[in-house]
Amino acid sequence: MKNVNQIQGQENHRVKDINLKELFLVIKRRFWVIVMIAIIASIIGAYLNNLSTTPLYQTSSRIIIGTDAESQKTLQVIIKDSAILDKVIEELNLDKSAEELAGQISVASIDGSQVVSISVIDRDPILAASIADKTAQVFKDEVPNIVGEDYIRLLSNAKVNTSPINQENNNKLYLAIIAGIIVGIGFAFLIESLDDRIRSEKEIEALFGVQVLGKISKMNNRNIKKKKSGRLEIELRGETIGYK
């Protein structure tokens, strides 16, 4: 009776371990499914990564608008007006509309001062610099025509900035690998749940109601080795010579 209790106790105790072990076994058994899905996902991720990163370059030229704050704001708005930008497009021979160009340009006064920077973002760093400079130049030339007074002085020219502002990162790749592994594990468990092949003695015992007489291991080198460790070395040598 004590024995029976002990055995049952062991069974109860073991249940936890076996569940974890089974999860692990499922992952181990379907390891290649998980790896394959992760690889496919990472390939897609790497592809998307390459696809999305056209490097963009930003540069700015600075001007000084020597007037009171209110006029300064007005003039800042005028920079992005088509009256200015059309001229810029004309002089630089750009294949763009004024609206498109306006989207690439941002104008801001620096720290509330009279210095205003004209920033341009473009795929071509040299073109970005020349657009910025040209806009500043055209603006300076045109303002007297528009408002009648010359408030504008050029402060500094735009420098060609060779490092892209959108840095290449592998975020998508990492995300894809992680997602791939997660989907792979999910898929492995899905396959496992659809798979009704017998894998444990417990299943057999539950099904047949008879005991499992025994288990036969795979016939590999390890299992046909002699059991007695004392003779193991000698036997090993003999076997290796015999097989190879």
CA distance 30 to 28: 6
Q: How far is the CB of 204 from another protein (least distance, A)?
A: 5
Alpha-carbon torsion 180, 185, 189, 195, what sign? positive
Q: Which is nearer to another protein, 123 or 231 (CB)?
A: 231
Q: Which is nearer to another protein, 112 or 209 (CB)?
A: 209
Tokens of 13: 């105790």
Q: Which is nearer to another protein, 4 or 194 (CB)?
A: 194
227 CB-near residues (< 8 Å, 6+ apart)? none
Q: How far is the CB of 236 from another protein (least distance, A)?
A: 13
Q: Which is nearer to another protein, 51 or 216 (CB)?
A: 216
Q: What is the DSSP-derived secondary structure letter of residue 30?
A: T
Q: Are 118 and 105 in contact (CB under 8 A)?
A: yes
CA distance 104 to 70: 24
Q: Which is nearer to another protein, 15 or 219 (CB)?
A: 219
Q: How far is the CB of 26 from another protein (least distance, A)?
A: 12
Q: How far is the CB of 232 from another protein (least distance, A)?
A: 10
Q: Are 133 and 156 in contact (CB under 8 A)?
A: no
Of 121, 142, 4, 137, nearest to 63 by C-alpha is: 137
Q: How far is the CB of 226 from another protein (least distance, A)?
A: 4
Q: Which is nearer to another protein, 26 or 75 (CB)?
A: 26
DSSP string, 70-139: HHHHHHHHHHTSHHHHHHHHHHHT-SS-HHHHHHHEEEEESTTSSEEEEEEEESSHHHHHHHHHHHHHHH
Q: How far is the CB of 17 from another protein (least distance, A)?
A: 19
Contact positions vs another protein (CB under 8 A): 196-199, 201, 203-204, 207-208, 210-219, 222-228, 231, 242-244
